[in-house]
Amino acid sequence: MQYLLMAYVDEKLWPTLTTAEKEQRMSAAYGPYVGALNQAGAVKGMNRLRPTGEAATVRVSDGKPQVLDGPYADSKEQLGGYFLIDVPDLDAALSWAARCPAAEHGAVEVRPIWVMQQP
């Protein structure tokens, strides 16, 4: 089954970190995690997202697109990246979420991918 692991972290902390801390948070932490995911053959896709300040949200009302500055929802922690994984069941997905560095200083939401029926 496929699951989307969504990494939520407080993006306001990022600019306050030193270069060494940034290195620690990113490559040192995510490098081995991504390595393990790849080795398990579990990963289907992943990306880090630019901060929510660079986001725009679109909604069509009365046939007219309305574009709003910023993310869809304001929250204490923001979606900072995602991993699309393919694993046997929810427990396997949850254990990958628990290993994700974001789970330590933020939270990781696990969502099963909706399986489309073949026509």
Partner 1 sequence: MNPDGGDEARGTADLVARRSYGKLIAFLAARTRDVSAAEDALSEAFALALKDWPRNGCPANPEAWLLAVARRRAIDAFRGRQRGEQAGEQLRLVSEGLSQAEAGPEIPDQRLALMFACGHPAIDPGIRAPLILQAVLGLDARTISSAFLASPAAMSKRLVRAKEKIREAGIPFRIPGRDELPERLSAVLDAIYAAFTEGWTDPAGADVVRRDLTDEALFLARLAVELLPAEPEALGLLALMLYAHARRRARRQAQGEYVPLAEQDPSLWDSPMLLEAEALLHRAAAMGSIGRYQLEAALQSAHVFRCRTGETNWPQVVQLYDALYALAASPVVALNRALAIAEVDGPQAALQAMPDAAADPRLTEYQPYWAARAELLARTGASAEARHAYDLAIGLERDPAVRRFLERRRAALAGC
Task: Name which of residues 46 to 85 contact partner 1 (CB under 8 A).
Answer: none
Q: To 10 degrees, the CA torsion angle through 39, 31, 108, 38?
A: -20
Task: Name which of residues 93 to 112 contact partner 1 (CB under 8 A).
Answer: 93-94, 112
Nearest to 85 by CA among 22, 39, 50: 39
Nearest to 109 by CA among 101, 96, 97: 97
Find the binder of partner 1 among 41, 90, 104, 109 (CB under 8 A): 90
Q: Which stretch binds partner 1 (CB under 8 A): 25-33, 47-55, 60-68, 87-95?
A: 87-95
Find the binder of partner 1 among 15, 63, 65, 119 (CB under 8 A): 119
* Contact by Cβ (8 Å): 79, 6: yes
115 scored as a contact of partner 1 (CB under 8 A)? yes
Nearest to 58 by CA among 71, 77, 76: 71
63 or 119: CB nearest partner 1: 119
Positions that interact with partner 1 (CB under 8 A): 1, 3, 88-91, 93-94, 112, 115, 117-119
